[in-house]
């Protein structure tokens, strides 16, 4: 193995370890303290972690080992499992991230604009149905990889696990449908909800600034009225000796309305969703373009780069979500 391949293998191994640690951490920290206390966001995080762990254990790990070995040595049977798990976990992870974006947007709007009113996606039955549907879609798109794969040999006894469809038309048709249904549409939805989250946060910040400036102005006017209405010290003593009424005291300024309970945590989590969406767009738009390029002209280098992009996504987002829900710590307290 030359120096360049060794560096690539070490980077891939580091990404694999970071993904294993982060996704296991996200799954464990999302488990409820009591069985009856399972919440919607915890279900979504656990499902995301499970999807990413399939990638980590059944895609990244064998790919990393194959990189160090310099060739694919796990046989054609595991080659089919490898390709199947790659698309299964990828599709499930994309849809779950989309559901998380929609959920936290609704929670943010419910907290800031509706005083903590319940939201539609805050339902275990509804979210369970959506996740079951996403796994079904992922399964349907992944099944062809069980049949149309082979281990291809090249120069110097190099072997690689690749997809081999019956003909180019079949491969392009599959790629177009898959990239549209399982990539483009969820990505578009995620962009929409992320933009809405940013707009909602900016509107709320502007509303707070306007309210605070109004309260400060009203307080200043009340203080000026209080000073102008108060009599001199001599007159005050005379009125007090004569039994006169005490001077009117200014009313305390009105305090700004308190946000709904948990609004701070909703804002923090929503910001983490925007951060995840930004990473998601950088990784998956690049991944999407590479997949489209590969569907037009098959290239092992393009496939390799696309796999690195996917691996980088699964090893970054768990830490962003853990930070967003304040669980990026080793404390066992919930």
Exposure pattern of 255-291 as b/e (b: 16+ CB <10 Å)?
Answer: eeeebbeebeebbebbbbbbbbbeebeebbebbbebb
Q: Mind listing the pLDDT tens digit for each residue in 256-296?
A: 444 454 566 767 777 777 887 787 777 777 766 766 666 66
Residue 131 has pLDDT above 80, yes or no: yes
Residue 179 predicted with pLDDT over 50: yes
69-93 pLDDT per residue, tens: 777 878 888 888 988 998 899 899 9
Per-residue model confidence (pLDDT) at position 291: 65
pLDDT band with cut points at 50, 70 and 90 for residue 140: very high
**What average pLDDT does the chain have?**
77
For residue 329, being part of any structural domain is answered with: no
More confident residue, 234 or 124: 124
154 pLDDT tier (thresholds 50, 70, 90): low
Question: In the predicted model, is pLDDT for residue 204 greater than 50?
Answer: yes
Query: pLDDT by residue (tens digit) across 285-312?
Result: 776 676 666 666 665 566 666 667 767 7
CATH of the domain at 197: 1.20.1070.10
The pLDDT assigned to 195 comes to 87
pTM, two decimals, is 0.76
Residue, of 252 and 170, whose pLDDT is higher: 170
Report which DSSP code applies to 121: T
In a domain, 247, yes or no: no
Query: 102 in a domain, yes or no?
Result: yes
3 state SS of 163? strand
Grade residue 1 by pLDDT with cuts at 50, 70 and 90: low
Full residue range of the structural domain in which residue 201 is found: 3-214+260-324
Rounded to 5°, the CA angle 171-174-180 comes to 135
**What CA–CA distance (Å, rounded) separates 73 from 66?**
7
The predicted model gives 210-239 an average pLDDT of 61
Chain centroid to CA 11: 23
Residue 333 forms part of a structural domain: no
State the total domains in the chain.
1
Q: Is residue 101 part of a domain?
A: yes
Contact 15, 312 (CB under 8 A): yes
Residue 224 lies in a domain: no
Phi-psi region of 262 (alpha: psi -120 to 50; beta: other; left: phi over 0): left
Q: What is the rounded distance in angstroms from the CA atom of residue 199 to the CA atom of residue 188?
A: 17
User: Does residue 74 sit within a domain?
Assistant: yes
What 8-state DSSP symbol labels residue 167?
S
* pLDDT of the residue at 133: 96
Q: What is the mean pLDDT of residues 168-183?
A: 86
Average pLDDT estimate for 34-38:
70
Per-residue pLDDT at 128: 93
**pLDDT tens, 229-258?**
555 554 444 444 444 444 444 444 444 444
Is 220 contained in some domain? no
């Amino acid at each position: 193995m030359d120096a360049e391949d060794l560096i690539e293998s070490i980077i891939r191994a580091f990404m694999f370890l970071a993904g294993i640690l982060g996704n296991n951490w996200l799954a464990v920290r999302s488990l409820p303290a009591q069985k009856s206390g399972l919440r919607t966001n915890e279900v979504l995080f656990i499902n995301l972690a499970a999807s990413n762990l399939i990638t980590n254990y059944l895609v990244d790990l064998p790919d990393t080992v194959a990189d160090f070995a310099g060739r694919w040595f796990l046989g054609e049977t595991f080659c089919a499992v490898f390709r199947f798990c790659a698309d299964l976990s990828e599709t499930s992870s994309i849809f779950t991230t989309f559901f998380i974006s929609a959920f936290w947007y609704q929670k943010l709007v419910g907290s800031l604009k509706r005083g903590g009113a319940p939201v539609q996606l805050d339902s275990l039955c509804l979210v369970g149905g959506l996740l079951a549907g996403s796994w079904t879609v992922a399964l349907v798109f992944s099944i062809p990889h069980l049949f149309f794969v082979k281990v291809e040999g090249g120069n110097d006894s190099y072997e690689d696990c690749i997809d081999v469809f019956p003909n180019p038309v079949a491969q392009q048709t599959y790629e177009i449908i898959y990239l549209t249904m399982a990539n483009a549409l969820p990505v578009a939805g995620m962009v929409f909800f992320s933009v809405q989250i940013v707009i909602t946060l900016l509107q709320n910040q502007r509303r707070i600034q306007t309210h605070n400036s109004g309260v400060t102005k009203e307080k200043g006017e009340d203080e000026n009225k209080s000073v102008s209405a108060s009599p001199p010290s001599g007159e005050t003593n005379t009125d007090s000796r004569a039994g006169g009424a005490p001077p009117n005291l200014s009313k305390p300024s009105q305090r700004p309305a308190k946000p709904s309970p948990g609004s701070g945590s909703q804002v923090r989590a929503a910001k983490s969703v925007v951060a995840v969406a930004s990473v998601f767009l950088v990784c998956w738009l690049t991944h999407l373009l590479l997949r489209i390029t590969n569907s037009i002209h098959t290239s092992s280098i393009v496939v390799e780069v696309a796999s690195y992009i996917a691996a980088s996504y699964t090893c970054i987002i768990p830490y962003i979500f853990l930070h967003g829900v304040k669980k990026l710590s080793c404390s066992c307290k919930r």
